[in-house]
Amino acid sequence: MNDRDEIFTRIRQALDPVAEKTTYPDWDDSLVISRGLEEFSSLWEMFCHKMREVNGNPLEGFEALGAFLKKKGQTVGYCDPDIASELTGLPAFEGIELATAYDRERIEDYQFGITRAAGAIAETGTIILKDKSTSARLGALTPWTHAAILDPRNLWPNVPAALQQSLNDDPSVILVTGPSKTADIEGVLIEGVHGPGVQICCLVPAGAASTNT
């Protein structure tokens, strides 16, 4: 058990005696107002437009992801074991090493990380990462390039819809809008300081790889 697991285990043990957990507060959807959006033919088109505006990289299909990584010269990285099983045998991933267990001793070796997105928000170009569906948090946060694999069924039009579907009882929900950014030094915007410098969202319907092979 690592330090993080031990901390969460102690928290759960402390909460177990509590007879009734506090429920999330109810809120009025009409109070959440987004500014007017341009017309798009689909939620995915809107998401791609918004993600590119924050220097993100929307892709469609595993073939596009493999081509992107090879073009960047990134051939070694961590991959969610379930996703790795779908990539086995795909020509686009020939020559790419996928580690299916995150080894902290190889943190400098991993050029990319591939994990699942729990969802995404079209109006902001935001990816949703949840603790329960992220196979290795370090695999999503420490490599320079992070690719979140998104099932189109989990693409929500706006923030209220995403929050209603995504909170549930997960202990940790992270909203990722583009690559990591900071501007706290001289007001100069720098990407990739506190997390990935390249953020990808790859749209892949469930079972797409097995259907195409």
| C-alpha to C-alpha distance for 24 and 29, rounded to whole angstroms | 14
Q: Say if CB 126 and CB 158 are below 8 A apart.
A: no
Q: Is the pLDDT of residue 185 over 60?
A: yes
Domains of the chain: 41-207 (3.40.50.10420)
Whose CA is closest to 145, among 49, 64, 65?
A: 65
pLDDT for position 190: 84
Q: Say if CB 142 and CB 198 are below 8 A apart.
A: no
| C-alpha to C-alpha distance for 142 and 61, rounded to whole angstroms | 23
Name the pLDDT band for 210 (thresholds 50, 70, 90): very low
- Residue with the larger pLDDT of the pair 20 and 203: 203
Q: What tens digit of pLDDT does each residue of 26-61 get?
A: 777 666 766 666 789 999 999 999 999 999 999 999
pLDDT for position 29: 67
E strand map for the chain:
57-60, 76-79, 97-99, 112-116, 119-121, 126-130, 145-150, 155-156, 173-176, 181-182, 190-191, 198-203
- Residue with the larger pLDDT of the pair 33 and 82: 82
Please name every residue paired with 190 in a beta bridge, in sequence order, or none if there are none. 182
Q: Say if CB 178 and CB 200 are below 8 A apart.
A: no
Q: Is the pLDDT of residue 209 over 60?
A: no
Residues with Cβ within 8 Å of 48's Cβ and at least 6 positions away in sequence, in order, are: 58, 125
Q: Say if CB 86 and CB 149 are below 8 A apart.
A: no
